[in-house]
């Protein structure tokens, strides 16, 4: 009997385990879920047929070796740094592998060995990276096949709260790892616009925005992602004059978030010893120039050059940065201290549903005409277990794992879903789960020579 081994039973595993257990029942194979906590693995399997829970510590090399040796496919949902441990064993025992994480340089270096072993190591099979690759490459290939020349590629993804549950002045709630949101953008961003390279330092990140409309969901603004340039090679768009990837937020979020950045509250480079009874008001004050008479609010407004009664100041006030509430930790970076406050304000409430918004914008010329394609996808969570994030991360990996088990792919080595044999069937199947892209296209007469 075939055996799929899932490493890690955390949040992102739920939907994947459900999918594979359902399929295993029909097609008679075993789904083994290994986690540090056997209870957690058991909970996720919930007594369903074909499932088996084991206690597994991936740093126990012997155990990892023997479990992988017995398997036909390994799906690693571990924190990214652990994938390599499993990958080496997969190569050794000629076992196919699937992950939802970015290909690390170490994993990339296994490509030749994986090919020699005759296995596929299917990576970046989540939402971002994952569904973004698949849906973008489907568009790009279609345009290229009909002879279009692409001049601009832009792509945006955002993890947000669904509109019905969007009830705070920021239009935002945490739907995934909160700390990643607080320190987003720290490494700066690189992209190219009309042939001009553009680099953005962290402190300007939330000021260099693009705004786009997505279906009937209104306007979203995007701040730039870390390295858009590397996508030129990944997507076969080496000489494209414009490439830009960004993160979507509701309009107005970035301008207010930028105030926290400018104040220094998102700093993560140094730790603060929090004095006893320090309030969030004191915490905010530590970033402001000393002034004997001005209120903390007045000093913030002065430093940021905004009116004390402005919408932005109201957003900061709503967060609680002026409150006399005691900081609940004794030590931490400003980002960690701010996070404690944000978690109280931005955590999903009972019944809230999350939402993934993705959009690609491509400009191309064909037969002397200028085309603009917009491809948009909005996926709303079913509940707080089968969230939109869990579905869009778990389903591509699950479908990928099933197809790998059934030897559906010819490709060997380290593969990401930018190739047709992977993205076509997976995008098709994702539709049945409501993960579907809507394409809109406009065509313009080419006016450049007329002017």
Out of 37, 199, 218, 385, name the contact with a copy of itself by CB under 8 A: 199
Out of 141, 186, 281, 408, name the contact with a copy of itself by CB under 8 A: 186
Question: Which residue, among 97, 52, 101, 92, has the nearest Cα to 74 in the 3D structure?
Answer: 97
Q: Which of residues 215-244 bind a copy of itself (CB under 8 A)?
A: 227
413: β partners? 120
Out of 4, 139, 182, 272, name the contact with a copy of itself by CB under 8 A: 272
Can residue 201 be called a binding residue for a copy of itself (CB under 8 A)?
yes
Can residue 269 be called a binding residue for a copy of itself (CB under 8 A)?
yes
Burial class (CB in 10 A: 0-12, 13-18, 19+), 433: middle
d(CA 235, CA 99): 20
Out of 332, 334, 381, 417, name the contact with a copy of itself by CB under 8 A: 334
Out of 228, 285, 375, 392, name the contact with a copy of itself by CB under 8 A: 285
d(CA 112, CA 180): 33
Question: Which residue, among 355, 372, 363, 346, has the nearest Cα to 248 in the 3D structure?
Answer: 355
- Beta-strand relationship, 219-224 and 242-250: antiparallel
Can residue 105 be called a binding residue for a copy of itself (CB under 8 A)?
no
Can residue 208 be called a binding residue for a copy of itself (CB under 8 A)?
yes
What does the longest C-alpha to C-alpha distance in the chain come to? 76
Can residue 298 be called a binding residue for a copy of itself (CB under 8 A)?
no
H-helix or E-strand containing 182? helix 178-182
Out of 72, 96, 267, 352, name the contact with a copy of itself by CB under 8 A: 267
Can residue 104 be called a binding residue for a copy of itself (CB under 8 A)?
no
Please identify which residue in the block is written with the tokens 């949040």.
11
Helix pair 311-319, 296-304: axis angle to 10 deg? 130
d(CA 180, CA 158): 13
Query: Please, which residue, 141 or 325, has the CB nearer to a copy of itself?
Result: 325
Out of 63, 262, 279, 336, name the contact with a copy of itself by CB under 8 A: 262
- The span of 39-47, 110-118, 203-211, 249-257 binding a copy of itself (CB under 8 A) equals 203-211
d(CA 115, CA 93): 13
Out of 187, 311, 385, 443, name the contact with a copy of itself by CB under 8 A: 187
Site for a copy of itself, rule CB under 8 A: 186-188, 190, 193-194, 196-204, 208, 227, 262-264, 267, 269-270, 272, 275, 282, 285-290, 334
């Amino acid at each position: 009997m075939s055996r799929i081994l899932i490493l890690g039973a955390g949040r992102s595993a739920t939907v994947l385990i459900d999918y594979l257990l359902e399929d295993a029942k029909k097609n008679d194979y075993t789904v083994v879920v290994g986690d540090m906590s056997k209870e957690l693995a058991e909970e996720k399997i919930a007594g369903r047929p074909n499932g088996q829970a084991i206690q597994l510590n991936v740093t126990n090399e012997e155990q990892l070796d023997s479990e992988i040796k017995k398997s036909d496919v390994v799906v690693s949902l571990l924190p990214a740094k652990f994938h390599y441990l499993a990958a080496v064993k997969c190569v050794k025992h000629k076992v196919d592998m699937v992950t939802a994480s970015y290909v690390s340089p170490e994993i990339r270096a296994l490509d030749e060995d994986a090919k020699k072993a005759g296995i596929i190591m299917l990576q970046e099979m989540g939402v971002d990276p994952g569904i973004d690759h698949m849906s973008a490459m489907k568009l790009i290939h279609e345009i290229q096949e009909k002879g279009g020349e692409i001049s601009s590629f832009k792509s945006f993804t955002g993890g947000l709260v669904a509109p019905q549950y969007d009830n705070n002045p920021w239009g935002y709630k945490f739907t995934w790892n909160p700390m990643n949101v607080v320190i987003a953008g720290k490494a700066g961003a690189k992209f190219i616009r009309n042939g001009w390279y553009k680099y953005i330092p962290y402190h300007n990140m939330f000021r260099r925005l693009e705004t786009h409309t997505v279906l009937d969901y209104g306007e979203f603004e995007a701040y730039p992602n870390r390295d858009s340039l590397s996508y030129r090679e990944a997507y076969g768009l080496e000489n494209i004059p414009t490439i830009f990837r960004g993160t979507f937020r509701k309009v107005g979020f970035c301008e207010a978030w930028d105030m926290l950045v400018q104040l220094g509250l998102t700093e993560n480079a140094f730790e603060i010893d929090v004095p006893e009874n320090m309030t969030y008001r004191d915490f905010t004050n530590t970033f402001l120039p000393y002034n004997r008479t001005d209120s903390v609010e007045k000093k913030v407004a002065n430093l940021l050059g905004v009116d004390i009664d402005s919408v932005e100041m109201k957003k900061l006030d709503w967060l609680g940065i002026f409150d006399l509430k005691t900081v609940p930790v004794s030590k931490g970076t400003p980002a960690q201290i701010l996070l404690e406050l944000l978690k109280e304000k931005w955590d999903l409430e009972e019944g809230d549903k999350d939402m993934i918004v993705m959009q690609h914008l491509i400009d191309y010329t064909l037969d002397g005409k200028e085309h603009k394609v917009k491809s948009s996808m909005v996926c709303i969570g079913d509940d707080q277990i089968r969230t939109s994030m869990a579905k869009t991360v778990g389903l591509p990996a699950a479908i990928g794992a099933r197809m790998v088990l059934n030897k559906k792919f010819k490709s060997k080595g380290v593969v990401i879903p930018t190739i047709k044999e992977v993205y076509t069937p997976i995008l098709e199947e994702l539709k049945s789960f409501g993960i579907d892209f809507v394409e809109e296209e406009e065509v313009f007469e080419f006016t450049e020579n007329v002017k």
